[in-house]
């Protein structure tokens, strides 16, 4: 239970410091009544969107990939390794703008380029991470 609380606190602290068009914006939390205040993302997650509708055009695929690349570039420039990046951790606004979310397993790397233990969803992890061959986060 303590680990879950620590992950939650770390995620809230991290999200409140981030501000980018393709990263979910957290404005704060009410401690008396556990409520989070964040950017509204009513479009569901990217996985459900693709499963229900598919990606209709090359233009839409390019838009999605570009938004995610810009969001990840921002996180990496801030020395943040998400460590569980997948379609379920991308929310969509009503206009289908991608917002990277779920920073519970993320790590601020600072000058340390090692990510530590392998975390995240195995099906979405790089083979070299699963084999324990690569520990660098850049």
Domain assignment of residue 60, yes or no: yes
Give the contacts of 82 (CB within 8 A, at least 6 positions apart): 72, 75, 89, 100, 103, 105, 106
Owning domain of residue 90: 2-130
Q: Report CA 39 to chain centroid distance, whole Å.
A: 14
Is the pLDDT at 63 greater than 70? The verdict is yes
Residues 118-130 pLDDT 10s: 555 665 556 665 5
Domain assignment of residue 136, yes or no: no
Strand partners, 92: 98
Domain assignment of residue 135, yes or no: no
Residues 9-25 pLDDT 10s: 777 777 788 899 999 88
Catalytic residue among 73, 84, 102, 112: 84
Q: Is 84 a catalytic residue?
A: yes
Count of domains forming the chain? 1
Q: Report CA 100 to chain centroid distance, whole Å.
A: 4
Residues 29-52 pLDDT 10s: 766 766 555 566 788 899 999 999
**pTM for the model:** 0.68
Domain assignment of residue 137, yes or no: no
Q: Report CA 119 to chain centroid distance, whole Å.
A: 13
């Amino acid at each position: 239970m303590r680990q879950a609380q620590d992950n939650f606190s770390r995620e809230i602290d991290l999200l409140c410091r981030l501000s980018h068009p393709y990263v979910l914006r957290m404005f704060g939390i009410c401690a008396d009544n556990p409520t989070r205040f964040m950017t509204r993302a009513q479009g569901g997650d990217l996985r459900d969107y693709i499963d229900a509708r598919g990606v209709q055009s090359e233009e839409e695929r390019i838009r999605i990939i570009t938004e995610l690349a810009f969001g990840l570039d921002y996180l990496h420039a801030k020395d943040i390794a998400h460590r569980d990046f997948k379609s379920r951790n991308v929310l969509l606004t009503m206009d289908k703008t991608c917002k990277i979310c779920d920073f519970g397993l993320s790590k601020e790397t600072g000058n340390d380029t090692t990510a530590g233990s392998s975390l995240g969803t195995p099906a979405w992890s790089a083979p070299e991470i699963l084999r324990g061959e690569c520990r660098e986060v850049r």
